[in-house]
Structure 1
Amino acid sequence: MKTAKSKVTNTISEKDHEKLTELFIDGLKDIYWAEKHLAKALVKMEKAATSDELKAAFEKHTTETEEHASRLEEIFGIIGEKAQAKKCEAMNGLLKEADEITESTDKGTMVRDCGLIMAAQKVEHYEIASYGTLRNIARTLGHEDVANILQTTLDEEGTTDHKLTELAETYVNEEANQE
């Protein structure tokens, strides 16, 4: 006769709950810093872009990014924490890379736009990973309301990523290849 193995349950100890909550709050602080700094960087990327379509995409995402930061402030309030940023080394590095692309490409070229799209998509993928993970942790902690807010932002980040891919595939990459 087989012995019964211990069941895995969805409940976590109070100590583990506290540790996961700390990790969650730390992640919120990290992405809050990222959003605040990205809003400024997107303005620079918009000015550096060549095509009107890419400029418009950056302008639109600047507005969305400011809204993402506001949503994070709302989330901090819901969970009873002060909205506080913690330097996000990953975003800091991605934004430095975007600056390097701008500096190493010629103004007014589609090669620059291609590089800006590449840099912007790296940022989007980082944000998608961050928001997806934070949404899942929020659900685990029983914050379905917070998870729904994070999902809204996650959806917008995905839409931006798809728009950038569309711009690259529609004409930017081909025109860059012909320069």
Structure 2
Amino acid sequence: MPLSFLTDQSSEAAPTARHHHHAAPDGDDRWTRPYRPGPWRVAIASLLLVLASYLLFAGVIEAAAGSASGAGACLGVAVLVIAGALRSLRMGVWVSGRGVRQVGLLRTTTVPWRRVGTIRTAQQPVRWLALPRTVQGQALVLHGTGEPRTLITDHNADFLGRPEAFDLAADTVEEWAARHRR
């Protein structure tokens, strides 16, 4: 089963052509993430899925012991943990011919290209792995009709320790913006 949300839809055989792979023709309305999920994001999702497997096993034990309410509670919590793990893998920035979409754990925000002023990389304090602690780093910032919005940083779960991947993703999103802004 292909897991398209885990990849950047590019070929492994041509890593140099990866940067230009996302140059979609006008009218392409398929949402694509211009980078792969980082190792921190995948590790967190993996740990959540391991926790869910323990919860499911506990639910089976509860059901075998005759406690339907305990089994239901374990099953319900396991389903929530699995949903959270899958949603965490989808988190990030997605682009299409319609706009730029920022997917968070609980909220998704889409900004149409006509409302995007500029998208550029800036040096600024950024949150380290989405924790309250801030460090000096790079951020891809969207300036539009409202307040500036930080799309991705070099210290988030996708790019921590991978500065080349951040540069490639930022360049790709900037290219999409330059191509589709009107």
TM-score, with normalisation over the residues of structure 1?
Answer: 0.30
Higher strand share: 2
Which of structures 1 and 2 has the larger relative contact order (alpha carbons within 8 angstroms, sep 6+)? 1
Higher helix share: 1
TM-score, with normalisation over the residues of structure 2?
Answer: 0.29
